[in-house]
Amino acid sequence: MVSDIQNKVVIIGGGLIGKLLHLMLISRGFDISHFEKVFKEKNRTFALSPSSVDWLRSLELPSLFFDSLTEVKSMKIFDSTISNSITLNAEDVTKPALAYMANEKDLNEAIKKKLNKKTNFKKILSDFVIQGEQDHVRLKLSNEQHKASIIIACDGSKSLVRKKISIKSSEHDFNQTALSFELKVKAGKQNEAKQFFLKDSILAILPIKKGIVSIVWSCSSQFFEKLNNYDDEAIENELNLIIGKFYKEIKIVSKKECFPLFMNRVEGIFKDRVLLVGDAAHSIHPMAGQGLNLGIRDIIDLERIIDKRDYMDIGLKGFLRKYERARKEDVVQMGFLTLGLNWIFSNKSSIVSSIIGRGMGMVDKSKFLKQQLIKKAIS
């Protein structure tokens, strides 16, 4: 028989991963206390993998959210010369889409509608204390405390929970800054994404709706400084030099946002009945478009292990070790993939550039290799 404590879970973190985790756990009968810092909703756009969308459907989110998704049916990847490319098509793996573009506000709204109106997200300041015991863990606040089987931290790449429980992390600085905004365009192919691996930047173009694309431009420090001093017209002119062949009449139609790029590695993802999930456990370069998907796969694996019912208490070390093993390969592979791609395509050697060009040509001619790339990307 499951005790009250074994059924109690504390979640810290009010972003998308924290809220999706909340939905999954209440569907499994857990009693949730959810705490968040002051949360500011952003108008970001994400690429969701088909497997992520399938799982979101299993949560029975409102159909209006799924109707709002934009299918990405193909993707074209270019090297710095823009003369060598690889084209990936969903039809090569008999799927309707490679990815689905989603707006953060739309997903937040869908989650809110699914959650009980009585769900109370409590604010948490930085002065909390976590105290792990053999059979429970306590979250101590200034005026109250909460006792649970486990605390799950989804409080982002700069996780305060991780710091408080002394899980060490190492940060790899890409010395890049991402610039993101929306662009109005005239384009022939409405459902095609494009990615350009340029000498000083990586430019991703993702279709949101007819005539509107999302730009994520990962820039070297020097190139970002140059762009940051430009007005919208000058940035549009810079873009025209790269994408003018594919898009006409381009115009910036949103506020520009920027954020530094780094990758976090942690020495472990749990300690004393506290588990790290999402960016608190791993953060990667956005070039692969897998940050949110990686966090969703954290929840999917957690759900799968809970459903096996091998453990009545999910705060036990045995359960957490099982989960850690389940996630290790996926997280390590994605980290190496983004590190490797960033090194290869940012390498300024003419020899490396020549090898890349020939390699892209070979991959583009091989249906088998492209199928393998797609299968990994959409998992």
Of all residues in the chain, the percent with pLDDT exceeding 90 is 56
165 plus 240 within the same structural domain: no
Number of helices (H), then strands (E), belonging to the chain: the values are 11, 20
Task: Let me know if residue 67 belongs to a domain.
Answer: no
Total of domains in the chain: 2
The chain-wide mean pLDDT, for the chain, equals: 86
Query: Is the confidence at residue 152, as pLDDT, over 60?
Result: yes
Torsions phi, psi for 334 (to 5 deg): -65, -35
pLDDT-based confidence at 21, cuts 50/70/90? very high
What's the pTM value of the predicted model, to 2 decimals? Answer: 0.89
Rounded (5°) CA angle 294-298-300: 110
**Residue 367, pLDDT above cutoff 80:** no
Higher pLDDT, 213 or 175: 213
- Give the residue-averaged pLDDT of 153-158: 93
- Taking residues 299-324, report their average pLDDT: 93
Confidence of residue 379 (pLDDT cuts 50, 70, 90): low
Quick one: pLDDT at residue 377? 64
Which pair of structure tokens corresponds to residue 233?
A: 């017209």
Say if 108 falls within a structural domain: no
CATH of the domain at 179: 3.30.9.10
Q: Can you give the residue range of the structural domain that contains 242?
A: 74-100+174-260+346-378
Pick left, alpha or beta for residue 355 (phi over 0 → left; psi -120 to 50 → alpha; otherwise beta).
alpha
More reliable by pLDDT, 161 or 291: 161
> Residue 71's beta-bridge partner residues?
100
Q: Which range, 37-51, 54-68, 116-130, is most confident?
A: 54-68
- Torsions phi, psi for 40 (to 5 deg): -110, 115
Tell me, yes or no, whether 202 and 337 share the same domain. no
Q: Are 178 and 272 part of one and the same domain?
A: no
Asked whether residue 185 falls in the same domain as residue 246, the answer is yes
Has residue 84 been placed in a domain? yes
* 7 vs 29: CA distance, rounded Å: 8
Nearest Cα to 209, choosing from 106, 293, 296?
106
Q: Are residues 246 and 311 in the same domain?
A: no
The reported pLDDT for the residue numbered 287 is 55
Identify the band that residue 349 occupies on the pLDDT scale cut at 50, 70 and 90. very low
Together in a domain, 123 and 237: no
Question: Which residues fall within 8 angstroms of residue 340, CB to CB, at 6 or more apart?
Answer: none
**Same domain flag for 180 and 96:** yes
pLDDT, one tens digit per residue, over 326-347 is 998 887 776 655 654 554 445 4
Query: Mean of the pLDDT values across residues 107-127?
Result: 86
* DSSP 8-state class, residue 287: G
Residue 189 is encoded by which pair of tokens? 């192919």
Give residue 171's pLDDT. 80
**In-domain check, residue 62:** no
> Is 222 domain-assigned?
yes
25 confidence band (pLDDT: 50, 70, 90): very high
Q: Over 50: is that where the pLDDT of 43 sits? A: yes
Q: Quick: pLDDT tens for 311-320.
A: 889 999 999 9
Averaged pLDDT, 368-376: 71
**Amino acid at the residue 313:** D
Looking at the fold, whether 83 and 124 belong to one and the same domain comes out as: no
User: pLDDT confidence of 352, banded at 50, 70, 90?
Assistant: very low
Residue 188's pLDDT band, with cuts at 50, 70 and 90, is: low
> What percent of the chain has a predicted confidence (pLDDT) above 70?
85
Q: Are residues 244 and 334 in the same domain?
A: no
Tokens in use for 154?
């989804």
> Nearest CA to 302 among 282, 316, 319, 281?
319
Strand partners, 177: 219, 260
Please indicate, yes or no, whether residues 317 and 331 belong to a single structural domain of this protein: yes
Confidence band, pLDDT 50/70/90 cuts, at residue 167: very high
Q: Do 180 and 94 belong together in one domain?
A: yes
Q: With respect to residue 165, please indicate whether it lies within any of the assigned structural domains.
A: yes
Q: Which amino acid type is present at position 362? A: M
Q: Supply the pLDDT for residue 351.
A: 44
Average pLDDT over residues 162-191: 88
Query: 1 in a domain, yes or no?
Result: no
Residue 361 lies in a domain: yes
Based on its alpha-carbon atoms, the radius of gyration of the chain, rounded to whole angstroms, reads 22
Indicate whether 207 pLDDT > 50.
Answer: yes
Given this model, what pLDDT does residue 366 score? Answer: 76
pLDDT for position 289: 58
Q: Are residues 186 and 138 in the same domain?
A: no
Measured in whole angstroms, the distance separating CA 352 from the mean position of its chain's CA atoms is 29
List the CATH number of the domain containing 123.
3.50.50.60
